[in-house]
Amino acid sequence: MGDPFVSPLPTQIDELWERRSELNPTDDRPGSLSAEARAVVNHALDQLDAGAARVAFVDPKTDAVVVDERAKRAILLAFRVFPVVESAAGEFRYRDRIPLKRSFPGTRVVPGAIVRHGAYVAPSAVLMPSFVNVGGYVDEETMVDTWATVGSCAQIGKRVHLSGGVGIGGVLEPPSAVPVIIEDDAFIGSRSMVVEGARVRRGAKLGAGSILTASTRVFDAETGEELPRGEAPAWSVCVGSTRVRSFPGGDFGMPCLLVLRRLAEGETHDKLALNDILRDHGVAT
């Protein structure tokens, strides 16, 4: 067992969470509970934005996903204490409670990329026109390709490629729900969906159009073995597939994830090496 996790965020957030029904986004009287909560939540979102706090991470000692419940509560509280504010980007007008991220030191952000305040994006990441929601975490040298979406609190590791149109699901409620984790060196093929706290382990490559939810069944094509649900195994090549299930009405194909083959640790799939070359030259695929 690793050391018990202690959130870097203040315990005040837990107290405000207990009193959340008393909070009001339009109450801006100085000294009111809502005004106090707004300042605390603002600070928490700043911490998340800067990467000084994060909603979840994989504990290197135990390999378990650790969730900072307080960070999630801070995000949920933001929707209770921030009023709806109008903003503008060029000709476009918006109305929202959570402002947009303003600070991207070093990150290449292509026009059309939208990141909400409270999401961390590493300086060496590349954002094509895409969306990263509050609480999201995009680590070093990761490419978020065109129309990919990183849902609230989703954690994307280092050197990951989220291909065009990939949907990484968000999770805010219930507060105990585990966010989607995409570990270092993973590749997620075009238009794939990874949702509901599913986990793509280190170096796994998901073929285009793969679907992985917490309840997706996973099979090894070489051995026929059934693997843990909702997880793409480390250093593997996986594709969306179907398994036959018998119902009273007949036999039907039900979705599953098929592990086509295993890669050596650190191995890049040949077909996907092209993406690395393009990324080195700053071109999105």
Ligand X SMILES: CC(C)(COP(=O)(O)OP(=O)(O)OC[C@H]1O[C@@H](n2cnc3c(N)ncnc32)[C@H](O)[C@@H]1OP(=O)(O)O)[C@@H](O)C(=O)NCCC(=O)NCCS
- Return residues touching ligand X (CB under 6 A): 163-164, 189-190, 205, 207-209, 237, 239-240, 260, 269, 271, 275, 285
Q: How far is the CB of 285 from ligand X (least distance, A)?
A: 4
- How far is residue 62's CA from residue 64's CA, in Å, rounded to a whole number? 5
CB of 40 to ligand X, least distance (A): 42
CB of 92 to ligand X, least distance (A): 28
Give yes or no for a contact between 116 and 135, defined as CB atoms under 8 angstroms apart.
no
Q: How far is the CB of 282 from ligand X (least distance, A)?
A: 15
Measured distance CA(29)–CA(13) in Å, rounded? 20
Q: At how many degrees (to 10) do helices 69-81 and 33-50 cross? A: 130
CB-count exposure of residue 15 (10 Å: 0-12, 13-18, 19+): exposed
3-state secondary structure of 112: coil
| 142 versus 190: smaller Cβ distance to ligand X | 190
Closer residue to ligand X, CB minimum distance, 136 or 165? 165
Residue 66 vs 260, nearer CB to ligand X: 260
User: What is the smallest separation between the CB atom of 273 and ligand X, expressed in angstroms?
Assistant: 11
Nearer to ligand X, 163 or 216 (CB): 163
Is the backbone peptide bond immediately before 174 cis, with ω within 30 degrees of 0? yes
For residues 205 and 189, the answer to whether their CB atoms sit within 8 Å is yes
Residue number with CB closer to ligand X (20 or 191): 191
